[in-house]
Each structure stands twice: as C-alpha cells, then as structure tokens.
Amino acid sequence: NASLAKSNLTRASLGSADLSNTDASGANFTQARMANANLINTNLRSANLTNANLDSTKMLGADLAGALITGAIFTISDISLAQLQSTASYQAGNLRGISLDGIKMIGWDFHGQDLTSANLVGSPLTDADFRGANLSNVRLESVNLVDAETIYNQWTVFRSISPADQARMTYHESPLGDMDANDVLDIADVDLLMKVIRLQADSLLGWLFPMFNVSNDADVDTADLGMWVHDLKHTWFGDANLDGGFNSSDLVIIFQAGEYEDEVENNSTWATGDWNADGDFTTSDLVVAFQDGGYEQGPRAALSAVPEPNGLLSLLIGLMGLLLRARPGPRAARTSLCTNL
C-alpha cells in the first residue's frame, strides 16, 4: 500500500477502506470517517485520530503508540487494552469524549483517566479500575472499582450500579451550559452546542440531550444557542473571544482567521465567525451578530435594555460594502478588512 505517513486526511471519507499494513505514522485523521476500515497491522504511530470515527474497524496488530485519540469512536472495534495504553492520550490521562461502547473491558485500567463525555455503555466493566477517574457526562454500565476521587455529575448515566458503589464516589454538579464539565462556560462549550445543533446526530445527543437542551423545550436548536449566549454567558452574538462584549476586536479576530466565505465546508467555529451554528463563516453570521444589537455596547449585563439594531445594521451594510470593494480574492479581502477596522 502507498505510504500515508504525515498525510493530512482531516475529515477524509475512508469508510470500509483497506489500510492494512499501511504506513500512516504521523498522519492527521482528525474527524476522519473510517467506519469499517481495515487497519490490521497499520502503522498509526503518533497519528492524530481526534474525533475520528473508527466504528467497527479491524485493528489487530495496529500500532497506536503515541497516537491522539480524544473524542474518537471505537464502537465495536477490536482495539485492545495494550493498544489503548500505548496512545499519547491515555498516557496523558485524557480520554475525553472517547466511545468504547460494545467492547469487552473486564479488568481494564482507567485509573486516573479523564473520561468526561465518554460512551462506555454496552461494555462489560467488571473489575475495571475507575479509581480517581472523571466520569462526568459518561454513560456506562455498573462499576465496582471506584473511590472517593472518582467524580461523576448530574449527566452521568449508570445503567446499573449498587447504592454502595455510588456512595463511594464524589458527586460534583456541573453548571448549566458547561458542556465539557470543566466548570467554565467557554468557547469549547458553545462550539460543542453548535455542533450538536448542526448535526443533530444521535451519537452526539444521546443521553446528553437534557444537557444540551438548556432552554428545556422539545429540541436542541438555535433557541438553546441564544439562551447560552444571552442568559448563561451574558454576552452577545459576535463576541468571538467571549470577553463579554462585541466590538471591533472581535471583527479583527474573525477576519484574521481567514474563513470568511472560504471553500472549506464546516470548518468555522464561534471564534472564527460561525454564529448561526451552520459550520461556516458567511454574511449570515454578521447579520445575526449585528441584529443582536450588541456592537460596541459593552457588557450585556450592564444594559437595562437591548438597543435597537437599526443603526448597527447600517454599520453592517457599510462593512459588507468595504468587504466587496476590497476583495479581488479572499486573502486580499481579509487584509483590507483587518487594516480598516
């Protein structure tokens, strides 16, 4: 097979691909779709598999030493404990968001691991070591090897657990809107919420639907995004750096990121201009931000009433005119905008 060493395969569609015996060391598979792929004896040393979908992959003999696997989906794959322990993520104690459901993990060692938002349901875990582990937002079966340093929160789902085992753990409630259980409402939280709104995937919602549904209605949608921005974070749409205000600094940040109307789908985040949860930075996001009425108004909490957006929309029209006049190409537009803000 041709070498894929150090290749950039971000978001690549590799479902059912035969990559057996391939050198993919150091390759970037971030968010790659690799379900049912053949990875037997594949060299994945130091590869980046963050948020990759490896559902039902064949992994016998695959070398994962030094690989990054946070957020990766290994559902019903044949990954082994030795392979897991060889990864950089395991050795750093960071298995956040990993899916290992449907894998027999009797006696596996998760001592001290951060498993926040991991999916371990359907996996036998008898005598698996979860002492000192962070089980916030996790869905799993019963556990019996825990201690007072094992943490869980209101979104943790135990399918079955004895009262005695649960009493040995420490309960720590996460703030509303804290999607990654780090006790802070930050860009990672709003990005995760927007991803769920955009994709509406059961694998993303699942048992965490009540956590994402901050508006407490029937759906996870832009109403939840609005509540997160206004009522939980107390800021404005357009506040790219979440410092509490929407101003020219935020516009500089998003245009310097260089994703305005680019040709890469779903590559934008809150910090790079996606404010309507569609995954891209376009004129629509600027309309959302300026209609919200917070431009140069200071912190939202300091205002007794939200200002009328009419004058701000005029500013938006002027800004877009500047963009169109100064944009023979995408990069030239970004330079002109950042210079004139």
pLDDT in tens, 205-246: 689 999 999 999 989 999 999 999 999 999 999 999 999 999
Residue 264: count of CB within 10 angstroms of its CB: 11
pLDDT tens digits, 246-264: 999 999 999 999 999 999 9
The chain-wide mean pLDDT, for the chain, equals 90
Mean pLDDT of 300-322: 57
> Model confidence at 142, in pLDDT bands (50, 70, 90)?
confident
Mean pLDDT of 140-155: 94
Q: Do residues 124 and 107 make contact, with C-beta atoms less than 8 angstroms apart?
A: no
Mean pLDDT of 140-144: 88
Q: Is the pLDDT of residue 341 over 90?
A: no
Q: Is the pLDDT of residue 186 over 90?
A: yes
Mean pLDDT of 106-125: 95
Mean pLDDT of 144-164: 94
Q: What is the pLDDT of residue 131?
A: 98
Q: What is the pLDDT of residue 316?
A: 59
Q: Is the pLDDT of residue 340 over 80?
A: no
Mean pLDDT of 123-144: 94
- For 223-249, b/e burial (b = at least 16 CB within 10 A) is ebbebbbbebbebbbbbbbbebbbbee
3-state secondary structure the chain: CCCCCCCECCCCECCCCECCCCECCCCECCCCECCCCECCCCECCCCECCCCECCCCECCCCECCCCECCCCECCCCCCCHHHHHHCHHHHCCECCCCECCCCCCCCCECCCCECCCCECCCCCCCCCECCCCECCCCEECCCCECCCCCEECCCCEECCCCHHHHHCCEECCCCCCCCCCCCCCCHHHHHHHHHHHHHCCCCCCHHHHHHHCCCCCCCCCHHHHHHHHHHHCCCCCCCCCCCCCECHHHHHHHHHHCCECCCCCCCCCHHHCCCCCCCCECHHHHHHHHHHCCECCCCHHHCCCCCCCHHHHHHHHHHHHHHHHCCCCHHHHHHHHHHHC
Q: What is the pLDDT of residue 312?
A: 54
> Model confidence at 64, in pLDDT bands (50, 70, 90)?
very high
**Residue 327 CA neighbour count, 13 Å, CB half:** 16
Q: What is the pLDDT of residue 120?
A: 94
- Nearest C-alpha neighbor of 68 from the set 32, 33, 40, 28: 28
Between 151 and 328, the higher pLDDT residue: 151
> Model confidence at 303, in pLDDT bands (50, 70, 90)?
low
Q: Is the pLDDT of residue 309 over 60?
A: no
Q: Do residues 258 and 334 make contact, with C-beta atoms less than 8 angstroms apart?
A: yes
Q: What is the pLDDT of residue 311?
A: 53
Q: What is the pLDDT of residue 218?
A: 86
Q: What is the pLDDT of residue 319?
A: 61
Q: What is the pLDDT of residue 199?
A: 86
